[in-house]
Structure formats: C-alpha cells, structure tokens
Amino acid sequence: MLGTAPAYLLSWGAWRLLSSVLPARVYHKLDDRLYCIYQSMVLFFFENYTGVEIVIYGDIPKKKENVIYLSNHQCTADWIIADMLAIRQSALGHVRYVLKDGLKWLPLYGWYFSQHGGAYVKRSAKFNEKAMKKKLFTQTQAGAPMYLVIFPEGTRYNPELKNVIADSQAFASKQGLAILRHTLTPRMKASHIAIDTMKGHLDAVYDVTVAYEGTLDASGQRRPAPSMPEFLCKECPRVHIHFDRVDIKEIPTEPVFFRRWLHERFEIKDRLLTDFYESKDEDKICKFPGEGKASPLNLSKTLPSVVILGGLTLPLLLTENGRKLYVRTWVYGTLLGWLWVNVFP
C-alpha cells in the first residue's frame, strides 16, 4: 500500500495540473475517482486479504448522500471501517476526514488528505474554527460530495489507559453529563462546526458504533482494539458495525442543545458496547442487540484497483530512472507537502 503512493501522487499531480484551468467541480469529480481507486486497493488488503467478516446492524441507504460519519474511536483501523461502509454505498471517493493536527506530518499522505478536503484540527484552546470553516465552505461551494468522517472523542479509547478514561469521566461529571464506560466523553466543537457550516449541503448524520471481535480476554476484560498491522495479520476475525441514520433536520444547531444531542448519541453507543462486552447471555456476548447481517465485499470492487496501481508502480521500479523518480517523489513530495499544509492549513 505504501509502495504505490508515489505512483498515485504522480498521477494525481498530473491531473491537478491539467485541471487548473477547469471548474473546481470537474477537478473534484476525477479526484474522487482517483481516491476511490486507491482506497479500493487498501480495502483489498484489509478486507479481502484478511478475510475479516463484516457484520452490519441496520440498513445502509442504497443511494449516495452528503453526510457526516460520527463514530466511536478505538484504534487506527477505525479509519478503514469508514471506508468499508462507504464502498458499500458506492461513496468511497467522497470520504474526507477531520484529523488531529499531528497527522499532517505523515509523508505524502498528510498533504494529500488535506488536498482531498480533509481538515486538520487541534484540541481545546488551539482549535482553529476559522480554518475548519473555510475548508468545509470551500468544499461545499465547489459542490464536492461529502462523506466527512469525525471521531468526536478526539483520541482513542484504550481500556488499559485508566488515567485517560478517568479524566474523560471527570470532565463529563463536571459538565453535568452522563458518565460513559466504554467510550470517552465526546467533544462537540468539530462536529458542531461541520454541521453548522454545511447544513444546507448535508442530508444526514451516520451514527456508527464499531466493536472488534476478539477483544475480550479469558477473564472477560476488554482488551485494546487491533492496530492496522495487527488487523492485517488477521488478528480480528469479525467486525461488528451498528449503523443508524439521523436526518439532518432532526439535529439541533444551537450549541447547548447540540452538546446534549451528541452526548445522548454516545450514551446509546455506550449501552450498545456494554451489551457487546458485558452481556451475561452467552448467545448475546460479542454481539450488538438486533439482527446483524454479514456483508461480504466482492473482489470485483477491489482487485481492479490493485492491478491498476500495481501497473503504474512496477515501471517506476524496473528502470534506474524510474527508481530515481520514485525516491524523489517520496522525498520532495513529503517536503513540499509539509510546507503546504503549514502555510495553507
């Protein structure tokens, strides 16, 4: 996956240059298609190769929508779960992320995620509302389809980090909010800004709760969710995804009421995860309530992308000049990317 990044970036760069004289809507359309190709290749490894079973509770709309995806956050693999749902709705190219600021330093990826419409945010007092609003407003004005992924907890829930959980619960108590046991207390700022800025562009919020099977130890204690490398090593046999669509008209926009609404959604998540991890019924443990349906991903949706990106990458590696271009793309692309995301957040 990392090996194909320079070939992908060169292809995208050529399109970005050619599209500079075209309307923004035209650029976004092909950019989304290119992104879909790359992420389909990623899903080939994370889903087809690993053989993980995806179990979905709830009905994913068949038609594409402009949405915000709100989910609990446990591990780096959570980003891939958003892709897994999006590809089942033929919306993979529309996925954009709200990311913590430190991720902009990822070589090549950090810069490209910003170019694709992602927004980097800092926590607490350093949160730059103006920059996030500008990024989202620019996207909506250009008519870019939106599948914006946000993890309101702001950081990952790890059952072994007792101090992080305690601090989160103390914050909830101070704010007069219900204390959560299987998620952290959600922070509202990014979610509220996104909904408020794009309310005329959005159709719904997808409220998603994710649980990874295999994260209960022999004593019944919850263990950390798998990292991306662990996931690729087939350490997760099954992912359970609870899906709930909330119409955008049902979501309050006043900050006070929105905070309460968001916390109530996480109270629902907490109850779902409590049932998943702590049910006394052996038939219900490691399952969400309700009917879950296995949702296999057809190889025809991912393998062509592997072939395309592999075909673009191999010529670069087979000749000396190609290898030089490959290395230079990694080096100069990373340096220019770092400069760009810091000058133009």
Residue 219 lies in a domain: yes
Domain count along the chain: 1
Q: Who's near 166: CB < 8 A, 6+ residues apart?
A: none
User: For the segment 302-332, what is each residue's pLDDT rounded down to a tens digit?
Assistant: 999 999 998 888 887 888 888 888 787 767 6
Q: Is residue 199 part of a domain?
A: yes
- Position 272 in a domain: yes
Q: Which domain holds residue 272?
A: 52-91+145-297
Higher model confidence: residue 200 or residue 1?
A: 200
Q: How confident is the model at residue 129 (pLDDT cuts 50, 70, 90)?
A: confident
Residues in a beta bridge with 238: 53
Measure the CA–CA gap between 344 and 114, rounded to whole angstroms.
10
Flag whether 10 is in a domain.
no
- In order of 105, 184, 192, the CA distances from 328 in angstroms are 18, 42, 40
Q: How many CB atoms lie within 10 A of CB 204?
A: 19
pLDDT tens for each residue of 273-282: 999 999 989 8
Could you tell me the pTM of the whole model? 0.91
Residue 126: HSE in the Cβ half-sphere, 13 Å Cα cutoff: 7
Residue 180 domain flag:
yes
* Confidence band of 143 (pLDDT split at 50, 70, 90): confident
